[in-house]
Structure formats: C-alpha cells, structure tokens
Amino acid sequence: MDRVQKRRAHSVQKQKVYDHYGHFCACCGETEEMFLTLGHVDGSGAEHRRRLNGNNGGNTVSILRDLIKRGYPDNIRVECTNCNVGAYRNGGVCPHVKLRQAPISNV
C-alpha cells in the first residue's frame, strides 16, 4: 500500500469512528475537526496504546482499527485536545466540569 492509499484508508477509518462517537467534544461541544481527538473515559489511553504496540505506543491508525474491530467500545468519546489534556492533568476530570460546578460569585 503506497502513501496515498494509506492516507485514504486512515481517512475512511477515522470517518467511521467519528460517525459513531460524534463530531464534537463530549465535554465542551467544540466542533472544529482539527481540535478533536479520541479520549478514553476511564483514563486507559496509554494502556490501550501499549496493548496494541508494546512500549512503542500505539499510533492513531492502530487505535482506529482496534475500535472498529471491537465494535466501538463504550469507554471512548470524542474530546477536543484541551479537554483531553485538561482531564489528563487534572486527575481524569476536565477543568470544564469543575468550572460548571463552581458556585457563581456576586462580587
């Protein structure tokens, strides 16, 4: 398979996965495709990548292929990069969630 065919196959797989999980961030609603990524709700992303490709980590293509093969598991959702990284850095909870729960000050 040449480079163009690989890109085309990747696009088809990505489209299938995003068609299933949605084309917007499940946390903040962001819809710009360039900002969207896949998040593991249970924080198991690193483990998932290692399981697919050992210590080298998984690449996007192997993740997409695996999700399709396993019938789109429930522990995955579309997230924007900010929410994905924010949750990782904040112990699994996106800062948006904490902001929505914070009482509004009348100062």
Kindly report the pTM of this predicted structure: 0.81
How far apart, in whole angstroms, are the C-alpha atoms of residue 107 and residue 67?
48
The rounded mean pLDDT for the chain is: 88
pLDDT at 107 over 60: no
Asked, for residue 55, whether it belongs to a domain, the answer is: yes
How far apart, in whole angstroms, are the C-alpha atoms of residue 107 and residue 91?
30
Distances (CA, A) of 102 to 15, 30, 72, 96, 105: 36, 21, 33, 10, 9
How do beta strands 76-80 and 36-40 pair?
antiparallel
Asked, for residue 86, whether it belongs to a domain, the answer is: yes
Asked, for residue 53, whether it belongs to a domain, the answer is: yes
Give the domain range for residue 80. Answer: 3-101
Asked, for residue 12, whether it belongs to a domain, the answer is: yes
9-40 pLDDT per residue, tens: 889 999 999 999 999 999 999 999 999 999 99
Share of the chain above pLDDT 70, in %: 90
Asked, for residue 31, whether it belongs to a domain, the answer is: yes
Domain count, the chain: 1
Residue 71 vs residue 96, higher pLDDT:
71
Asked, for residue 77, whether it belongs to a domain, the answer is: yes
Asked, for residue 107, whether it belongs to a domain, the answer is: no
Asked, for residue 23, whether it belongs to a domain, the answer is: yes
Between vectors from CA 40 to CA 66 and to CA 43, what angle results, nearest 5°?
125
How far apart, in whole angstroms, are the C-alpha atoms of residue 84 and residue 94?
7
Residues written for the chain? 107
